[in-house]
Structure 1
Amino acid sequence: MWESLKYKFEKYPARMNVASKMIELGLRAGKDHKIYCNDLKISDMALANAANVDRKAVKQTTDFILNDEKLANIFENILPAGTLLKNIAKNLGLGVIEIEVGDENIGILSVASKLISEEKISIRQAYATDIQLEESPTLTIITEENVPGELIKKLLKIKGVTRVSVY
């Protein structure tokens, strides 16, 4: 998605920082020219700090987005993904599998979930970072329990997988 949009921000690095941070965090532009996470209003200063820009750049980015029909249709409809369990999985007794992927990444989720299900382990959550936004995109899978070591070896054999971490 980002590749198809970033050309609109090429001449404005600060606006690009703001827009990419909005996508990363699931923030939307409201018709009132404010930034929201669902219905929670985000201050311009908070977003400016997160994007390493000044507050004025946030306002300019919001105005720019809302004055462009294509951008407005996207940024007015962004929703946050919800609670990601990765950082609290251990506290909940869940397993975490992080699969780092390379350029060839088609079907990795499908094959990985099949291998996990063959071990009779339930998947609670799966999410992937955007290959266009991340240098090292990862697929994170949260499981009902820790996975056996043999499964790690199988996951490493999936085409496009460069690294597997389990914790």
Structure 2
Amino acid sequence: MWSEIVDKFKGMPSQEKVIRLLLERGFQVNSEGHVVSGKVEIPHTQIAKDAGVDRRVVDATTEMILKDDTLRRVFQNIRSIASLKDVAPLLGLGVIIIRVDNAQNVGIINAVTNVVARYNLSIRQAVTDDPFFSDDPAMTIITGDPIPGEMVSDLKKLKGIRSVTIQ
């Protein structure tokens, strides 16, 4: 689906940058053509600066989104999420970051969560990067308690796991 969305902007590299930024951040485009996160409006100048384009490119991109039924439905319903990754250690929570050989392989999340469950840790949050947007996607698991060192060894033994980092 993501490639279909980006394909609508082929031949328009500046607008493609904007569309990728909106998708990566989970930003919406409301019915007035404003970029928002929930009800908070994000100025087009800020989006343009982050995407490395002119503000008018953002305007043109949001206009195109509103004119296309599929794009409008996607961008009026996408949502961003709050990641606990950077604050988890401050809250006494555990953080595991897992990188795999191939993010398209089936069963990776299941295998990882089974190991976490064997250590009787609750999972507070699990977030995976979409391989479409990331060259090196990671799975981040936030646990209710710090991660025991021996669990890292067990995770590294799983098929397809390239690296395991704890914070």
Q: Same fold (TM over 0.5)?
A: yes
Give the C-alpha shift of residue 157 in structure 1.
Answer: 2.2
> 1:98: which partner in 2?
97
Q: Which aligned pairs between 1:42-57 and structure 2 lie closer than 5 A?
A: 42-57=42-57
Q: Which aligned pairs between 1:42-81 and structure 2 lie closer than 5 A?
A: 42-81=42-81
Q: CA RMSD in A?
A: 1.2
Give the C-alpha shift of residue 151 in structure 1.
Answer: 1.3
Between Structure 1 and Structure 2, how many residues are aligned?
Answer: 166
Q: Which moved more, 1:55-64 or 1:142-151?
A: 142-151
What percentage of residue pairs aligned between the two structures are identical? 34
Structure 2 length as normaliser, TM-score? 0.94
Give the unaligned 5+ runs of structure 2.
none
Q: Which aligned pairs between 1:16-165 and structure 2 lie closer than 5 A?
A: 16-81=16-81, 83-103=82-102, 104-165=104-165
Distance between the aligned counterparts of 2:10 and 2:126, measured in 1? Answer: 32
Q: Which aligned pairs between 1:9-20 and structure 2 lie closer than 5 A?
A: 9-20=9-20
Distance between the aligned counterparts of 1:48 and 1:159, measured in 2? Answer: 41
Contact 1:124 1:143 in 2 (8 A): yes
Distance between the aligned counterparts of 2:84 and 2:64, measured in 1? Answer: 34
Give the unaligned 5+ runs of structure 1.
none
Structure 1 length as normaliser, TM-score? 0.94
Distance between the aligned counterparts of 2:127 and 2:113, measured in 1? Answer: 12
SS in 1 for 2:8: helix
Distance between the aligned counterparts of 1:89 and 1:59, measured in 2? Answer: 37
Distance between the aligned counterparts of 1:122 and 1:8, measured in 2? Answer: 41
Distance between the aligned counterparts of 1:24 and 1:39, measured in 2? Answer: 18
Distance between the aligned counterparts of 1:157 and 1:68, measured in 2? Answer: 47
Contact 1:29 1:76 in 2 (8 A): yes
Distance between the aligned counterparts of 2:70 and 2:129, measured in 1? Answer: 23
Q: Which moved more, 1:25-34 or 1:142-151?
A: 142-151
Give the C-alpha shift of residue 158 in structure 1.
Answer: 2.1
Deviations 1:129-166 (A, max 9, x none): 10111000000000112222221122112222211111
Contact 1:126 1:139 in 2 (8 A): yes
Contact 1:96 1:146 in 2 (8 A): yes
SS in 2 for 1:96: strand
Give the C-alpha shift of residue 102 in structure 1.
Answer: 2.6
The one-letter code of the counterpart of 1:30 is N
